[in-house]
Amino acid sequence: MVEPWQAPSQRVVWSVAGLLAALSDSIAARFGAVTLSGEISGFTRAGSGHCYFSLKDADGQQATLRCAMFRRAAGLVDFAPRDGALVEVRGRLDLYAPRGELQFIVEAMRRAGAGALYEQFLRLKARLEAEGWFDAARKRPLPAFPLRLGVITSTAGAALHDVLTALERRAPHVEVVVYPSLVQGEQAPAALVQALAVANERAEVDALLLVRGGGSLEDLWAFNDERVVRAVGESALSVVCGVGHETDVTLCDLAADLRAPTPTAAAELASPSRRSQLELLDVLERGLTRQLRSRLDAQAQRLDRAGMRLARPSDTLARQQRRLA
């Protein structure tokens, strides 16, 4: 229970910085060096070499702790940390004063096995691969000159903007049909399956782009859902999958007809460059013109030679008249 206000001479008023510093000292004195185990989520490596990520509870509890691993410590790690990896970290708790956030300063990290989500990913990948969903024989070529492309993504995400920008720059003549869908969360797999079904039922586009921006393994998990993977593999329309960043690989990437490293790359791979096609037409036009002129010149010379072999009609007529006389 909060005590009532005391007289000014009796109460202690903390500054924010002073309170956070006192809390930081108390935490350091109480815990000292700490070893944690958990699952990496949202791992990023800054240009400075420092690494930032969250450590999730490995037992599935709703608990997350922000972590920072500075360049010196990151350089001593003998493996590549990734989302979903189960690790043990040693370090100290600290309060980050600018935001008033509790964080864990990682001084050492080692493997502790694969994370639960990543293990699930590997098991499902092995099963679907054994069923042939990722076979190269299933891959179909994309249409060489599409006139209309379908895009399955969230209308609120940056991926749609990236695709539209790339198509406007690269192939402004290509029409775009958007099939809106959730791309994250528990409802996303069903929404993605529905969007794929609608696009195939309407059959109004030449190919489909299945895209979304980057994120952690949890953020992209809808694209590892078995229902979505099978829907991509069963699509009558060719599918280009561009999910996450270049290093992100989902099961939908493996089942699609073509994997793109980013949404922008998906748009570029699905549409030929208008400029390059016009340049190719110019080259072909010049080549055909040269061939036509060469052919006409050759036929003209042939005609001249044939004309030289023929006598003038009046000379022939005079010769025949003399023979007749």
| 3-7, 66-70, 154-158, 308-312: segment of lowest average pLDDT | 3-7
Give the per-residue pLDDT at 200. Answer: 96
| 121-135, 279-293, 298-312: segment of lowest average pLDDT | 298-312
Q: Which two tokens stand for residue 234?
A: 């069963």
Residue spans of alpha helices (H) in 204-312:
226-234, 251-255, 263-270, 274-309
Q: Please state, in angstroms and rounded to a whole number, the distance separating the CA atoms of residues 314 and 114.
A: 102
Would you say residue 270 has pLDDT above 80? yes
Instruction: State the amino acid at position 302 in one-letter form.
Output: R
Q: Are 31 and 92 in contact (CB under 8 A)?
A: yes
Give the per-residue pLDDT at 10. Answer: 63
Dump pLDDT digits (tens) for 38-97. 889 999 999 999 999 999 987 777 889 999 999 999 999 888 888 888 888 999 998 888
Q: Please state, in angstroms and rounded to a whole number, the distance separating the CA atoms of residues 224 and 122.
A: 10
Our CA dihedral for 183, 184, 187, 191, rounded to 10 degrees, sits at: 10
Would you say residue 175 has pLDDT above 70? yes
The mean pLDDT of 275-281, rounded to a whole number, is: 75
Give the per-residue pLDDT at 150. Answer: 96
Q: Please state, in angstroms and rounded to a whole number, the distance separating the CA atoms of residues 232 and 267.
A: 17
Tell me the pLDDT of the chain averaged across its residues.
87
Dump pLDDT digits (tens) for 26-41. 887 788 888 888 889 9
Question: What residues contact residue 214 under an 8 Å CB cut-off, 6+ apart?
Answer: 220, 244, 245, 248
Give the per-residue pLDDT at 274. Answer: 73
Give the per-residue pLDDT at 26. Answer: 83
Would you say residue 7 has pLDDT above 60? no
Buried/exposed 44-58: b ≥16 CB within 10 Å, e otherwise: eeeeeeebbbbbbeb
Question: What residues contact residue 95 under an 8 Å CB cut-off, 6+ apart?
Answer: 20, 23, 24, 27, 101, 102, 103
Q: Please state, in angstroms and rounded to a whole number, the distance separating the CA atoms of residues 109 and 131.
A: 37
Give the per-residue pLDDT at 116. Answer: 66
Give the per-residue pLDDT at 112. Answer: 76
Inter-residue long-range contacts of 56-65, CB under 8 Å, 24+ positions, other chains counted: 58/86, 58/112, 58/115, 58/116, 60/116, 65/36, 65/38, 65/102, 65/103, 65/104
Q: Are 103 and 67 in contact (CB under 8 A)?
A: yes
Phi, psi for residue 218 in degrees, rounded to 5: -65, -40
Dump pLDDT digits (tens) for 195-253. 999 999 999 999 999 999 988 778 899 999 999 999 999 999 999 999 988 778 899 99
Confidence of residue 9 (pLDDT cuts 50, 70, 90): low
Would you say residue 277 has pLDDT above 70? yes
Give the per-residue pLDDT at 216. Answer: 77
Q: Are 20 and 100 in contact (CB under 8 A)?
A: yes
* Residue corresponding to tokens 């293990």: 119
Dump pLDDT digits (tens) for 96-111. 888 888 899 999 998 8
Strand order in the sheet with 238-243: 175-180, 148-153, 207-212, 238-243, 258-259
* Residue corresponding to tokens 């995400």: 157
